[in-house]
Structure 1
Amino acid sequence: MASFWQSVFSRRMLVAFVMGFSSGLPLLLTMGVLQAWMSKSGVDLSLIGLMSLVGLPYTVKFIWAPLLDRGAFTGLERRPGRPYPLWKAALNWLVKASIGRLGRRRGWMLWAQILLMAAIVLLALGDPGRSPTMIALAALLVTFFSASQDIAIDAYRREDLADDELGLGSSLAINGYRVGMLLAGGGGLIMADVMSFRDVYLIMAACLLVGVVTTLLTPEPQAQPRAPQSMRQAVVEPFVEFFGRAGLGWGLGVLGFILLYKIGDSMAATMTTPFFLARGYTMTQIGTVAKLFGFWATVAGGLLGGLVLLRLGINRSLWIFGFLQAVSTAGFAMLANLGPSTVWLAAVIAFENLTSGMATAAYAAYMAAQTNKNFTATQYALLSSLMGVPRVLVSAPTGVMAEWLGWSGFFIFCTVIAAPGMAMLIKFAPWNGDRR
């Protein structure tokens, strides 16, 4: 029991939460808050819609993740017989000084955090009404350095935590992420009512200092694997190792499981707000119950899920939480057959967000457990990029499906579509698999 609570209140768990906060805060600065700023500045709606493309780095971050696994900037090395520009020499010295003193993971975390803060300041200095192109470029820099920070933080957490701590550590990181999103999204919009958007962005950039301080104070993971010594080792071998570990079929199966495990929950979440409005709930009810109350239910689910993960392990938690997640989705089908009721709305939202938070904690821990510590950054970046694919791809047809099936039929379908992912647990996360 002592070791259990020592793990819960350890330095590693605090770092996981704080770094999750640092990852979550920049996300909405290039989405909801930026959209509000552009709307207030009179920018055309079509251009505001196109701004969603600046989030592309989050979905393709596995492309440059090998550079962070390697621990050095490729192309900065001095080559005999060739001129060596002063700027390259200075940058090479800075990289070696930071990574050499802080270590591979902390060095890259610090670089990403400093450049991310600079990009947010650059975004703050822009004017959407006068120079939307500059705003778009600055927002793209924010998402690029934010995605780079995510790569380094995910790799650090995987190497810093013991295997049996991945569940709780992942849940704390996710909850820190949500708190960061709440501060940037909700807090940023509230502050924008009493100050300029420029000041809001400058304050948000300053809030990232907590991540910088944590990076400087926390130690580099112990027994860290040796960094890849060539670009082939950094780029090719992570994929060769992953798909060669138990065969190509197993590797593709794991990727398929990651795509399917939360697909029903993702489909249902896409249409919840239109569903609430169609059933006669007011904007106030949706805001207070579905959004604010639901947020804290999700946080509680993440924490509870992390504690259960520490006790039961990842595989058993995936089974239990996946089943509860499917049952909670069916709760919306029940709600579709009732009149507007704040009590029933709160009950369904509490159960759905609680179980979703638990399932997400187990889901993230499973992905971390599938990575080889020699290639943590690259493999986790690949898996976490896949994590967001269902949310993007399944959002398009859900409106048509809801019109065709009706609300009750739509949510029943979302419940049933979770079955393939649950069935894949038999092979890719057997009940006793992580207890052997």
Structure 2
Amino acid sequence: MAAAATDQPKKPGWRRVLRALGNRKTGFMALFGFASGLPYALLLGTLYAWLSDAKVDLETMGVFSLIGLAYSFKFLWSPLLDRVELPLLKRLGKRKQWIVSAQLMLGLILLVLSTLNPLTALGWFSLLAGIGAFASATQDVVVDAWRVDVADEEATIDMLSTVYQMGYRIAALVGGALALFLAERTDWPTVYATMGAIIALVGVLGLFAPDAEVTAATIGAAEDELLALREVGEIDPRVRKWALFGIGLLWAWALITVGLFMVRSLGSDPETRPDSVAFIATKGPLVVIATVVVPALVAAWLVRMKDKGRYVLTAASPARSAMDRFVDHGYRALILPLTDFVGRLGWAVILVFALVLTYRITDAIWGSFAYPFYLGELKYSKDEVAIASKFFGVGALVVGLALGGTLLTVMGRMATLTFGALIAALTNLLYADLALGGARIAAVSDASGFTWLVSHLGGDQRLAKLMLAIAGENIAVGIAGAAFVAYLSSVVAKGYSAVQYALLSSLTLLVGTLGRGALGQMIEEYGYYPVFLLTTAMGMVAVVLCLIEWARVARLGRASGIDATALEGA
């Protein structure tokens, strides 16, 4: 009974929602969410509209999309963000120093981009865009860690996760639709200069944000953790050294591989550019195996050896050299986050990873084919798609996020997570109906009066069908997204939040990214209708995994491996 109660609110749901919304941390979380979403929209979306207007060729624009790899592999440098202090800025706080510096850098980059001509200064343009993507991905890592670190019983991890998503989605609207609107009436340099000033302003405001408290006690705890590695019963330093050496080599290989690919891809000679599809399909899984799977297995072996009392110290062995201290710091930054995962979760780490890999698969795997479906298969115009997906769709997504945040507080995290997975899968059936003509959606739209409303605003029944389908999916994705971010935030431990959250969030879109090629081929051969039935069935896998995880958490409570602080805010 006590275990099951950990997922229940301590006070009436609406009172907790209102208290959380009035908290200072919640306001800054929305601001940081906006700052995370804006550069992503500008660098990986709106930028291509500017390049198109500048008459940059399609092949070069395709190369620009590779800067998105910074977001896919951001976990590779996340250990540094957990341990490295910035000179002159460390007084701002462990997380704020990185958040503020990344935001100010992004503001400066966008301002400089606004002074360049992408056609005549393509080299500098691509370099700055790449650095901007790196800074943006770095900001995402630290903002995710900040959210976990500052959560408390009032500003709960669930509410912080929800307002972060809302800020992020509003930024997508500002950096997408609003930027296009401004560009039509001014010019692209003005748009990017304005957006750069906005992000720089957020960086200035971020100076006043709260940060996780760093007291003499917490500093001492960090030092004690390093000293504890040399105590009796801990893994022998020689074994730790070889483990660190092996895992360090794998991560270094991954960083070099991804870095070289990006440098070669952004080169000026098209003949020397590698095949990006082949890289994602072949090297992508290898990078994940090298940086996640193998290190997790090594961490599991280390935990098992320590539990069995093998390869452990029988007497204290203080660090005696700079190399000893280097190994201790490296082990703490790179391997302890993984051993913490395995130690807390045990065999359930497989369940958690499987849930992370499959939860967002329904929208991740088919999202790239949305516009071909709307424009090519269903023959909607670009204006109709813009109205339905960008304006109305984003509004529906924000509504879904608000509903998700409320459900998290009222129903509990695991119930909302499971419900979100279910409706995210089932709303694929809306598109399956559209693929057959949309008779069922039309009937619902007519009966509910939605068709009448759209027609009086200048549309017709055909547009109403598309808007209703997109609204249904986006509300479901909003609820699922709010619950999923809250779940990921509860799984990680505060002491290793940057590394652990970056790993989990990077895995989220992996299966969808790797499976798009096969899905595209299936669409070519069989059409869209069976594809939507397939994605619905794939989404049910996540529902089953959610039910299993829900039962595990309810049965074990804190022993399930969910971070204790996060549970207090559940």
Give the TM-score taking structure 1 as reference length.
0.88
Matched, 1:218 2:212: no
Distance 2:111 2:395 in 1: 30
Amino acid at match of 1:31: L
When structure 1 is superposed on structure 2, of 283-292 and 197-206 the one drifting more is: 283-292
1:260 equivalent in structure 2: 358
The residue aligned with 1:384 is: 505
The residue aligned with 2:175 is 184
Report the equivalent of 1:138.
128
Q: For residues 371-418 of structure 1, give each alpha carbon's deviation from its aligned partner in whole angstroms, at most 9, with x where no partner exists.
A: 010011111111111123234223323222223332221111110111
Amino acid at match of 1:148: T
Separation of aligned partners in 2, 1:334 and 1:310 = 33
Structure 1 range deviating more: 361-370 or 233-242: 233-242
Q: What do residues 323-375 of structure 1 show as CA deviations (whole Å, max 9, x unaligned)?
A: 11122111211222225733332322221110111001111111111101001
Q: Which residue of 2 aligns with 1:26?
A: 39
1:218/1:429 Cα in 2 relative to 1: closer, same or farther (>3 Å)?
same
CA distance change for structure 1 residues 385 and 272 in 2, over 3 Å: closer, same or farther? Answer: same
Q: State the one-letter code of the partner of 1:267.
A: I
What is the match of residue 190 of structure 2? Answer: 199
- Where does structure 2 lack aligned partners over 5 or more consecutive residues? 1-11, 227-328, 439-460, 558-570
User: C-alpha distance in 2, partners of 1:202/1:108?
Assistant: 23
Q: Which amino acid aligns with 1:104?
A: K
| Cα deviation 1:4-23 (Å, max 9, x = unaligned) | 42113221221111100000
Q: Cα distance 1:290–1:35, how it changes in 2: closer, same or farther (>3 A)?
A: closer
User: Which residue, 56, 81, 97 being the options, matches 1:107?
Assistant: 97
2:113 pairs with 1:123:
yes
Q: Find the aligned partners of 1:430 and 1:242 in 2 and give their Cα distance.
A: 19
- Measured in 2, the distance between the counterparts of 1:12 and 1:347 equals 35
Q: Is the alpha carbon distance of 1:231 and 1:117 closer, same or farther for their aligned partners in structure 2, counting shifts above 3 Å?
A: farther
Within 1, Cα distance between the matches of 2:407 and 2:158? 8
CA change 1:282–1:113 in 2 (3 A) is: closer
Deviations 1:136-195 (A, max 9, x none): 110011011111111111111111123782222212111111111221122222222233
Equivalent residue for 2:429, pick from 330, 337, 342: 330
Compute the RMSD of aligned alpha carbons: 2.2
How many Å separate the matches in 1 of 2:17 and 2:132? 38
Task: Report what 2:149 is aligned to.
Answer: 159
Residue 359 of structure 2 corresponds to residue 298 of structure 1: no
Residue type of the alignment partner of 1:300: V
Contact 1:315 1:431 in 2 (8 A): no
8 Å CA contact retained: 1:315, 1:434 = no
- 1:243 aligns to what? 342
Matched residue, 1:351: 472
* Aligned-partner residue type, residue 270 of structure 1: S
The match for 1:270 is 368
Q: Is the 8 A contact 1:71 1:108 kept in 2?
A: no
Label 1:127 to 1:285 Cα distance change in 2 as closer, same or farther (>3 A): closer
Secondary structure of the residue aligned to 1:396 is: helix
Alignment-derived partner of residue 83 in structure 2: 70
Q: Per the alignment, do residues 285 and 193 of structure 1 end up closer, same or farther by CA in structure 2, a change over 3 Å counting?
A: closer
The answer to whether the 8 A contact 1:329-1:352 is kept is: yes
Are positions 1:174 and 2:295 aligned together? no
Distance 1:284 1:123, change over 3 A: closer
- Tell me the distance in 2 between the aligned counterparts of 1:349 and 1:431: 34
Quote how far apart the aligned CAs of 1:435 are: 9.6
- Identify if the C-alpha distance between structure 1 residues 223 and 307 changes in structure 2 by more than 3 Å, giving closer, same or farther: farther
> 1:28: Cα distance to partner?
2.3
Secondary structure in 1 aligned to 2:427?
A: helix
Segment drifting more, 365-374 vs 113-122? 113-122
Shift of 1:434: 8.9
Task: State percent identity of aligned pairs.
Answer: 30
Partner of 2:24: 11
Q: Which residue of 2 aligns with 1:46?
A: 59
SS at match of 1:31: helix
Structure 1 unaligned regions, length at least 5 = 74-94
User: Based on CA coordinates, which of the two structures has the bigger radius of gyration?
Assistant: 2
